[in-house]
Amino acid sequence: MHPDRLSRITGGMAGFIRTGVYPEGFPESWQPGLTLYRTLTRSILSDMVDTAFPICKRRIPETVWNDLTELFIRECPLHSPRLWEIAGNFAEFHRNENTGVRLGYPWLDDCLNMEWIELELFNRPDQPGWKFKAPTGRTGEKVSLIPDHELLVLNYPVFRTAGPGLKPETCFLLLFRDPVSLTVQFINLQPVGALAAECLRNEPGSCEDITDRIYKLAGISPDRDAMTRLFTLFRSKNLLTRISKEKQ
Amino acid sequence: MVGIGFRKEFSETLPRVRKDKPDFIEFAPENWMKTGGYYHRQLQKAAEQYPIFCHGLSLSIGSPDEPDWDFLADLKQFFKDVPVVRYSDHISFSQVSNAHLYELLPLPMIEEAVSRIAVKARQVQDFLERPLILENPSYYLVTEADMTEADFISAVLRESGCGFLLDVNNVYVNSVNHGYDPAAFLRSLPAEQVSYLHIAGHLKQPDGFLLDTHGEAIADPVYDLLKLTLETLSREVPILLERDFNIPAWPRLREEMNRIRRIQTEVREVQFAS
Ligand SMILES: [Fe+2]
């Protein structure tokens, strides 16, 4: 018995599935079976990637998109036993490879990141012990942002799926998991709105507190009515949660 | 007991089922651990009503790699959070050099694989502090084999001492693809180690080759093989219907579960009478 028979066979099979290079010393008779396993494995991975990134996939010619998946499977070892998490590996891999810029899709990083965050937020473990408490809307009430959110600064408006091609534009996208419906939604914020969200996530506060904090932070005095409207919008989206007395 | 694989597609239906309820549900822990949100809530609702079996995909019990200790730690935590009755995985490999392939790949049927599985199974069971059950997989390729499939599975179960998840559809698929008698194969397996059964549908290719898709209704010869299995076992074990793709409306799944139940009853009555 060869002590490394098991390693040689399992390693060779895994290598072939990822790269398509037929292992030296493997009999020809194994080729049809190995090719079938290569097809099956790749369809699991490409289905996952396609499902995770529908917007990116729609924006890129199919052959190019398939090449991105191909390169990813060949080059990126996948360490998570949880299949859905490979979407995060895919976004990270192509960011590190600078794929978007190289292929003439400079918006690709933004789009991959946005769609990955959307998936991650949908699946993210619940904060232990946290419960959503809808604010009353009373003036002066201190609130905080719900925990399941991410504020993205984008260089391209990749969330706009209709209209002309993508032109550079700085956007502040607040993605969040609605604590009631548990669906993931987003708001495209103005710079002041993004500042308000940033202030709120750092420390709870009332509408007035946040207006003051924005002044201290950025030296601008946001319009009070606009701030009230922003808070009303946040509240209607279940983005704000009441904080307990002892935390105030 | 007849159970069904828990799928997101019918996760809203399941907690509301009143007629012909499944007796238990099964799911892959990898798809549900370390998650929250909508589907986690659906899982919690189902877990309040149904006993839970977990059927893993990524233990990679036969690969030369060390066990993935981080994964096992997460799994152990998951088993603390969710009341899991039985835990199984496959006699296969899916991870090499710390990289997952997310497909159940066939092992060479050699002594070295048997000993590797025995060592890893012990490590896994000691760490999780619960028994591990191993399933006979379907396979489309025999690489190196110093023994028959039946001898390989028997040796794995003997050496590892694990429980046996006997997948009847896999036996049928393999018997067609590799040309052997499924009844003789069944009789040569260690019946006393069987913990529970799987049954599922497969896809017949134009050339007659069968793919273990879990995406079709159970084929008639597989029901026949189930009957033979139950007669051979001569004791009741839980049976799980696996349906992972092309998921039909609930009544179709209920029909399949009822047909399994009828076979169970039929075998039980014959055995009781004799
Ligand atoms: Fe199975």
Mean of the per-residue pLDDT values of chain B: 96
Q: Which of B57, B75, B90, B100 to mutate to test the interface with A (most CBs of A within 10 A)?
A: B100
Query: For position A222, what pLDDT does the model report?
Result: 87
Sort out which chain B residues have CB atoms less than 8 A from A40's CB and list them.
103
Class of residue B81 by CB neighbours under 10 A (exposed 0-12, middle 13-18, buried 19+): exposed
- The β-bridge partners of B4 are B25, B241
Query: For position A225, what pLDDT does the model report?
Result: 93
Q: For residue A154, is pLDDT > 80? A: yes
Give the DSSP letter string of chain B: -EEEE--GGGTTTGGG--TT--SEEEE-GGGTTT--HHHHHHHHHHHHHS-EEEE-S---TTSSSPP-HHHHHHHHHHHHHS-EEEEEEESSEEEETTEEEEEEEPPPBSHHHHHHHHHHHHHHHHHHTS--EEEPPP-S----BSS-HHHHHHHHHHHH--EEEEEHHHHHHHHHHHT--HHHHHHTS-GGGEEEEEEE--EE-TTS-EE--S-SPPPHHHHHHHHHHHHHH-S---EEEE--SS---HHHHHHHHHHHHHHHHHHHHHHHH-
Cβ atoms of B107 and B92 within 8 Å: the answer is yes
Task: Sort strands B84-90 and B93-96 into parallel, antiparallel or unpaired.
Answer: unpaired
pLDDT confidence tier of residue A246, bands split at 50, 70 and 90: very low
pLDDT confidence tier of residue B246, bands split at 50, 70 and 90: very high
How many CB pairs (< 8 A) connect A and B?
Answer: 113
Sort out which chain A residues have CB atoms less than 8 A from B112's CB and list them.
1, 3, 5-6
Residue B222's closest CA among B253, B255, B176, B154?
B176
Are residue A81 and residue A60 in the same domain, yes or no?
yes
Report pLDDT digits (tens) over B40-62. 999 999 999 999 999 999 999 99
Q: For residue B274, is pLDDT > 90? A: no
Q: Which structural domain range is residue A20 located in?
A: 1-123
Report pLDDT digits (tens) over A67-124. 999 999 999 999 999 999 999 999 999 999 999 999 999 999 999 999 999 999 999 9
Query: For position B123, what pLDDT does the model report?
Result: 98
Are residue A63 and residue A10 in the same domain, yes or no?
yes
Are residue A8 and residue A118 in the same domain, yes or no?
yes
Are residue A117 and residue A102 in the same domain, yes or no?
yes
Are residue A246 and residue A172 in the same domain, yes or no?
yes
pLDDT confidence tier of residue A146, bands split at 50, 70 and 90: very high
Report pLDDT digits (tens) over B81-92. 999 999 999 999
Out of A123, A140, A174, a domain closes at A123
Are residue A154 and residue A108 in the same domain, yes or no?
no
- Give the A-side interface with B, CB within 8 Å: 1, 3, 5-7, 9-11, 13-14, 17-18, 30, 32-34, 36-37, 40-41, 44-45, 77-84, 86, 121-126, 148, 177, 182-183
Query: For position A1, what pLDDT does the model report?
Result: 43
CB contact under 8 A, B36 and A123: yes
Q: For residue A166, is pLDDT > 90? A: no
* Closest residue on chain B to A86 (Cα): B100
* CA–CA distance, B214 with B168 (Å, rounded to integer): 12
Query: For position A127, what pLDDT does the model report?
Result: 93
Which CATH number does the domain housing residue A182 bear? 3.90.930.50
Cβ atoms of B181 and B192 within 8 Å: the answer is no
Domain count, chain A: 2
pLDDT confidence tier of residue B8, bands split at 50, 70 and 90: very high
Query: For position A3, what pLDDT does the model report?
Result: 46
CB contact under 8 A, A37 and B105: yes
| pTM for this model (two decimals) | 0.94
Say whether residue B76 is in contact with chain A using an 8 A CB cutoff. Answer: no
Task: Report domain extents, chain B.
Answer: 2-273
As a whole number, mean pLDDT of residues B4-19 equals: 92
Are residue A5 and residue A98 in the same domain, yes or no?
yes
Task: Report phi then psi at A98, rounded to 5.
Answer: 55, 35
**Residue A21 to residues A57, A70, B23, B96, B120, Cα–Cα distance (Å):** 27, 13, 47, 16, 30
Out of A102, A123, A144, a domain closes at A123
Residue B12's closest CA among B44, B51, B34, B56?
B44
* CA–CA distance, B212 with B269 (Å, rounded to integer): 31
Residue B7's closest CA among B214, B219, B168?
B214
Terminal CA-CA length for chain A = 71
For the beta carbon of residue B192, count every other beta carbon within 10 angstroms: 9
Are residue A242 and residue A192 in the same domain, yes or no?
yes
Query: For position B158, what pLDDT does the model report?
Result: 98
* CA–CA distance, A160 with B83 (Å, rounded to integer): 44
Are residue A156 and residue A196 in the same domain, yes or no?
yes
Share of residues in chain B with pLDDT > 90 (%): 95
- Of the candidates A17, A33, A79, the beta carbon closest to that of B98 is on A79
pLDDT confidence tier of residue B234, bands split at 50, 70 and 90: confident
Task: Report phi then psi at B260, rounded to 5.
Answer: -60, -45
- Of the candidates B40, B64, B71, the beta carbon closest to that of A10 is on B64
Instruction: For residue A139, give the H/E element and its range.
Output: none
What are the residue ranges of helices labelled H in chain A?
A: 5-19, 31-52, 54-59, 62-75, 86-96, 99-103, 108-123, 191-202, 207-218, 224-236
* CA–CA distance, A245 with B4 (Å, rounded to integer): 47
**Residue A225 to residues A143, A208, A237, B181, Cα–Cα distance (Å):** 18, 11, 18, 80
Look up residue A163 and give its DSSP letter.
S
* CA–CA distance, A147 with B224 (Å, rounded to integer): 53
User: 3-state DSSP call for residue A209?
Assistant: helix
Query: For position A164, what pLDDT does the model report?
Result: 64
Query: For position A66, what pLDDT does the model report?
Result: 97
Are residue A145 and residue A248 in the same domain, yes or no?
yes
As a whole number, mean pLDDT of residues A167-184 equals: 97
Cβ burial A65-91 (10 Å sphere, 16+ → b, else e) = bbebbeebbeebebebbbbbbbbbbbb
Report pLDDT digits (tens) over B141-154. 999 999 999 999 99
Q: Which two tokens stand for residue A107?
A: 């918006």
Query: For position A247, what pLDDT does the model report?
Result: 47
Report pLDDT digits (tens) over A29-81. 999 999 999 999 999 999 999 999 999 999 999 999 999 999 999 999 999 99
Q: For residue A179, is pLDDT > 60? A: yes
- CATH topology classification for B2-273: TIM Barrel (3.20.20)
Are residue A153 and residue A38 in the same domain, yes or no?
no
Query: For position A244, what pLDDT does the model report?
Result: 62
**Opening angle at CA A131, ends A129 and A133, nearest 5:** 150
Q: For residue A2, is pLDDT > 50? A: no
Are residue A247 and residue A205 in the same domain, yes or no?
yes
CB contact under 8 A, A78 and B99: yes
Report pLDDT digits (tens) over B150-199. 999 999 999 999 999 999 999 999 999 999 999 999 999 999 999 999 99
